[in-house]
Structure 1
Amino acid sequence: MRALLTSLTIISAISLSSAAFAASMTTGTIKAIDTKALTLTLKDGSHFMLPANFKDPGLKAGEKVKIAYDMVGKKHQATAVTLVN
């Protein structure tokens, strides 16, 4: 019984810790940004939905950015967008 509980505890800890790292990261150059539609497109064709509370720090086409995102269905939902120097 003790071995079973130990195994279940370890499995639970592993699955919970992997959920915390579910966000993916990518970098690229901005092709277009639409702050009204809350979308960002990279030059490679990747499209990202920006969060409703997104505050545009003055992003413009041609700037290199790093994007943290989650997959929501088949869409990329950005959680953070930062400029890359």
Structure 2
Amino acid sequence: MRRVIVSAAAVALIASATTAFAAQTTTGTVKAFNHKSMTLTLKDGVKYRLPAGWKNPGLKTGEKVAVTYDVKNGKRTASAVEIRK
């Protein structure tokens, strides 16, 4: 019985650790895009760093977007930005 409980606890710990680092997606409206610093700011004030080599799909202020990101060291790093209609 003890082995079953320990095994179940280990599985639960591993499952929770993997989901804690899973990418998240949010939607919002572009407030600012700075190509030089590779940052995207949404109207809610949240900033996202964009990866090196990221290609701008034509972002403009006021455009609705979906941002897929991870949080690393308290900073949001986008892996994808998609323009929404």
Query: TM-score category by the smaller chain?
Result: 0.7 to 0.9
Q: Distance in 1 between matches of 2:10 and 2:44?
A: 43
Q: What secondary structure does 1:59 align onto? A: coil
Q: Which amino acid aligns with 1:44?
A: D
Deviation at 1:18, TM superposition (A): 3.1
Under a length normalisation based on structure 2, what TM-score does the superposition of the two structures give? 0.78
Q: Distance in 2 between matches of 1:43 and 1:19?
A: 26
Tell me if 1:80 matches 2:80.
Answer: yes
Per-residue CA deviation, residues 25-55 of structure 1 (Å, 9 max, x unaligned), is 1000000001111000000000000010210
Tell me if 1:49 matches 2:49.
Answer: yes
Deviation at 1:79, TM superposition (A): 0.6
Q: What secondary structure does 1:29 align onto? A: strand
Q: Distance in 1 between matches of 2:17 and 2:46?
A: 29
The equivalent residue for 1:14 is 15
Q: How many positions carry a matched residue from both structures? A: 84
The equivalent residue for 2:66 is 66
Deviation at 1:17, TM superposition (A): 5.8
- The within-5 A match list for 1:35-46 is 35-46=35-46
Could you tell me which runs of 5 or more consecutive residues in structure 1 were left unpaired when the two chains were aligned: none
Q: Distance in 2 between matches of 1:12 and 1:44?
A: 33
Cα separation, partners in 2 of 1:8 and 1:43, compared to 1, 3 Å: closer
Identity %: 45
Q: What secondary structure does 1:27 align onto? A: strand
